[in-house]
């Protein structure tokens, strides 16, 4: 699964890195929330969706940034905390899963990040997990495949846009520490992913390992309150038997 990410740029830098997508005042107002070095579910992130991008006699659609909460809230949910159960969706079943299939068909999105974290279960016991940071080999920002859902809070009437990240089998690098990885899309596939194709299933595959890197980080990253640049610092292997 993918349950923690980092955006180590400020918001303006992230918007510039994906300048093919328009942004509005709602997104600009989130500038004080970034950089975010230890981003957890339940927070709002700038995602890229297919939306109306300018006023015209006929609607003109294109990529646009929108703030959305990480944790997919199904349309039938009675409370927004239902989203914490759905931070990921499996790429192998997303087209048929009743919770996700309609969003996958028509509400796909991109989640721009600079990296993510994963934990290696050293002994397969659920204890003594070693966290790793994962990024592109050249440190460039990249996008995860996501799907989104609009949900109206029955108690307050507030409309919340939420999303989850799609996952797939690991590449050779990720397989050393975990049996899943998030779906990372190539830049040349962004427009297709956001398009009106019903089932671009061939994009739901492991990203090439040779274009990525990973390194051990301190276990303090497990607490999302530790949101400072040093959570990305590399650490030496610990002696787990001490």
Q: What is the pLDDT of residues 73-110, one digit of tens each?
A: 999 999 999 999 999 999 999 999 999 999 999 999 99
Beta sheet of 115-121, edge-to-edge order: 36-39, 5-7, 115-121, 129-136, 212-216
Instruction: Let me know if residue 101 belongs to a domain.
Output: yes
CATH label of the domain that carries residue 154: 3.90.1680.10
DSSP symbol at 30: G
- The Cα 143–Cα 40 span in angstroms is 16
pLDDT over 60 at 186, yes or no: yes
pLDDT for position 169:
98
pLDDT at 122: 85
pTM, rounded to two decimals: 0.95
Q: How far is CA 63 from the centre of its chain?
A: 17
Q: Are 69 and 163 in contact (CB under 8 A)?
A: yes
- Confirm whether 237 is domain-assigned: no
Residue 242 is assigned to a structural domain of this protein = no
Of residues 122 and 192, more confidence is placed in 192
**Which residues constitute the domain of residue 212?**
5-232
Domain membership of residue 241 (yes or no) is no
Answer yes or no: is 95 within a domain.
yes
pLDDT at 242: 42
152 assigned to some structural domain: yes
Domain count, the chain: 1
Both ends of the chain: CA-CA distance in Å?
29
pLDDT tens readout for residues 134-165: 999 999 999 999 999 999 999 899 999 999 99
Mean pLDDT score, 63-70:
97
133: Cβ contacts below 8 Å, ≥ 6 apart = 6, 115, 116, 117, 214, 215, 217, 221, 232
| Within-domain flag for 93 | yes
Query: For residues 77 and 95, what is the distance between their CA atoms, to the nearest angstrom?
Result: 20
């Amino acid at each position: 699964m993918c349950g923690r990410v980092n955006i180590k740029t400020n918001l303006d830098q992230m918007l510039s890195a994906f300048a093919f997508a328009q942004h509005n005042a709602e997104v600009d107002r989130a500038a004080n929330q970034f950089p975010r070095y230890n981003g957890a579910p339940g927070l709002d992130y700038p995602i890229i969706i297919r939306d109306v991008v300018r006023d015209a006699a006929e609607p003109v659609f294109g990529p646009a940034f929108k703030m959305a909460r990480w944790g997919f809230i199904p349309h039938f949910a009675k409370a927004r905390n239902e989203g914490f159960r759905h931070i990921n969706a499996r790429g192998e079943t997303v087209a048929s899963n009743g919770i996700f299939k309609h969003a996958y068909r028509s509400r796909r999105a991109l989640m721009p990040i600079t990296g993510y974290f994963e934990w290696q279960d050293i002994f397969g016991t659920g204890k003594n997990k070693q966290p790793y940071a994962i990024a592109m080999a050249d440190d460039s920002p990249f996008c995860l495949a996501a799907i989104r859902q609009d949900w109206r809070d029955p108690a307050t009437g507030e409309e919340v846009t939420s999303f989850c990240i799609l996952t797939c089998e690991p590449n050779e690098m990720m397989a050393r520490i975990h049996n899943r990885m998030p779906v990372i899309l190539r830049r040349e596939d962004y427009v297709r992913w956001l398009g009106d194709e019903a089932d671009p299933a061939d994009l739901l595959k492991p990203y090439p390992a040779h274009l990525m890197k990973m390194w051990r980080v301190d276990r303090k990253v497990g607490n999302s309150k530790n949101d400072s640049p040093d959570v990305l610092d590399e650490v030496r292997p610990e002696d787990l038997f001490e």
